[in-house]
Structure 1
Amino acid sequence: MDFTDKVVIVTGASSGIGAATAVLYAKQSAKVVIVGRNETGLNKVAQQCEAAKGLKPLIVKADLTSDEDVKKIATRTIEIFGKIDVLVNNAGVGFRGSVRDGVELFDQAMASNLRPAYLLTGLITQHLMKTKGNIVNVSSVAAFRPIKDLDFTPYCISKAGLDMFTKCVALELARDGIRVNSVNPGGTKTPFVEAAGFTKQQAEEVFENRKTIYPLGKVCTTEEVAELILYLSSEKARSITGGIFVIDNGEILT
């Protein structure tokens, strides 16, 4: 797959799936825009991207719960590159909590995991129309069912909403030549679990436990998820839109 001269925005790119995705696009000669809150992480990813093919990525430090920061992503990309070909709405936060804990965690989950994707997509649709570009949203198998042994109710609801967003926008934008798909990972070795409030040891125990449960006996790597994102945004997937693509080592079969 060749992304020469393609401009790709990846949110949540300072670590995990977003970082692996940005680097993989860079290896395919894309002009990458990496977005995140962790400036140190972004700089590290930027170095990896530039090392791939010598193309310096655009770093946009942004808090996606801020509308002004979301708008900055679109304006800065157009200022520097003049167009947008691919948007990867990857940024997301894990929220542990129960309905008994009040509505605040729900509000935070929606504000972090769904609203920014909605806003940023709306802002750049006019640019994607010009390039006949596409969008890949990074959701989760948690969109399909509750996470059995963990209290992640707000997170699951936000990801279910993101899946419906994918389908609705895919239908809405299809006649404009814009494709929209979703990648839904299962357990993946990222900082996600620790960021949700677990200790490092607890996170390791979660991953080890998952390996015994999943039919394929392993969890995903960030690179595996990134490869699926790359494929869906490439010309090889030019007839695919509105799809929800699971990569979970058989997790939802259990």
Structure 2
Amino acid sequence: MSFTGKVVIVTGASTGIGATTAEAFAKLGAKVVLVGRNEAKLRSSADACKLANKESEQFIITADVTTKAEYIINSTIEKFGQLDVLVNNAGIFDVGNILNIDVDQFDRILNTNLRSVFLLTKYAAPHLVKTQGNIVNVSSVAGLRSFADVSSYCTSKAALDQFTRCIALDLAPMNVRVNAVNPGVIATEIQIRNGMTMEEYADYLEKCKEGHALGRVGTTKEVADAIIYLASDSSSFITGATLPVDGGKHALCPR
């Protein structure tokens, strides 16, 4: 599997799934555009890409996907002259019951997890048509199943899954594929950034094990591997798919 000569945008590339995915593309020869809001962490991700493949080329764009979507795409084209893969990974998470969450949470989550993907896709699509490239959206098992106290997040990811299917049909006549991965609980920093202590996070991950059929949480590499597969020619007859990468969590039912 090779991405030599391909230009790949990965949003939310500063940490977690995005950083691991950027490194995986670099290792396979891609020119990787790393997008995020934290320049220092983006540079750390770019360094990891270079370590994975000293011949690889990285381009850092420090930007907020909710306000700079057109700028991100235009900057990529100005730099490399083409776009082959768009990985819409940037996203945010928050909790709250409908009785106590405010409107701002809903707007903020939908703006980041859905509206930014719409804008990036809209501006990227003409360039992907030229290269017959593809899009991989990073959704969640929360888009496939319902969970209490995370209604805004679940709604954003369910909408993202439907968006994925609809845009796959829009772009199929131009041979541009659009798919999504739906991770379960993955060991990343997202809960820490949301205010958990290290001890609370360790307890959370331990409890989450029983909610996955395989009896453990996932790794960022396991999600990145699925993204790489969907972006590669190995999945050339797959479009409009939502692929659970969740240790069987989507298949479990309460007993």
What TM bracket, shorter-length normalisation?
over 0.9
Give the match for residue 57 of structure 1.
58
The equivalent of 1:85 in structure 2 is: 84
Specify the alignment match of 1:194 in structure 2.
192
Q: Provide, for residues 112-135 of structure 1, a one-character-per-residue CA deviation record: whole Å limited to 9, x for no partner.
A: 100111001000111000100000
CA contact (8 A) 2:30 2:57 kept: no
Equivalent residue runs for 1:2-17 within 5 Å:
2-17=2-17
Cα distance in structure 2, aligned partners of 1:65 and 1:131: 25
User: TM-score normalized by structure 2?
Assistant: 0.95
Distance in 1, matches of 2:214 and 2:51, equals 34
Pairing 1:38-77 to 2, within 5 Å after superposition: 38-54=38-54, 55-66=56-67, 69-77=68-76
Matches within 5 A, 1:1-254: 1-54=1-54, 55-66=56-67, 69-100=68-99, 101-148=101-148, 151-254=149-252
Distance of 1:108 and 1:98 partners within structure 2: 16
2:191/2:201 contact within 8 Å kept: yes
CA–CA separation in structure 2 for the residues paired with 1:113 and 1:16: 16
Aligned residues with identical type, % of pairs: 48
SS at 2:213 equivalent = coil
25-34 or 244-253, larger mean C-alpha shift: 244-253
Cα distance, 1:250 vs. partner?
1.3
AA paired with 1:65? Answer: T
- The alpha-carbon deviation at position 213 of structure 1 amounts to 3.1
User: What is the TM-score of this pair, normalised by structure 1?
Assistant: 0.95
Partner amino acid, structure 2, of 1:110: L
The whole-number CA distance in structure 2 between the counterparts of 1:213 and 1:155 is 18
- The offset of 1:38, in angstroms, is 1.2
Q: Shift of residue 146 of structure 1?
A: 2.5
The aligned length equals: 250
Over 3 Å counting, the alpha-carbon distance change for 1:16 and 1:163 in structure 2 is same
Aligned 8 A contact 2:26 2:57 in 1: no
1:59 aligned partner, one-letter code: I
Alpha-carbon RMSD across the aligned residues, in angstroms, is 1.1
* 1:39 CA drift (Å): 1.1
Contact 2:187 2:205 in 1 (8 A): yes
Q: Hey, what's the Cα distance between the residues in 2 that align with 1:4 and 1:253?
A: 37
CA distance in 2 between partners of 1:179 and 1:252 (Å):
24
| Residues 93 and 196 in structure 1, CA contact (< 8 A), matched pair in contact too | no
Q: In the TM superposition, what is the alpha-carbon distance from 1:160 to its structure 2 partner?
A: 0.6
Unaligned runs of 5+ in 1: none
Alpha-carbon distance in structure 2 between the residues aligned to 1:77 and 1:56: 13
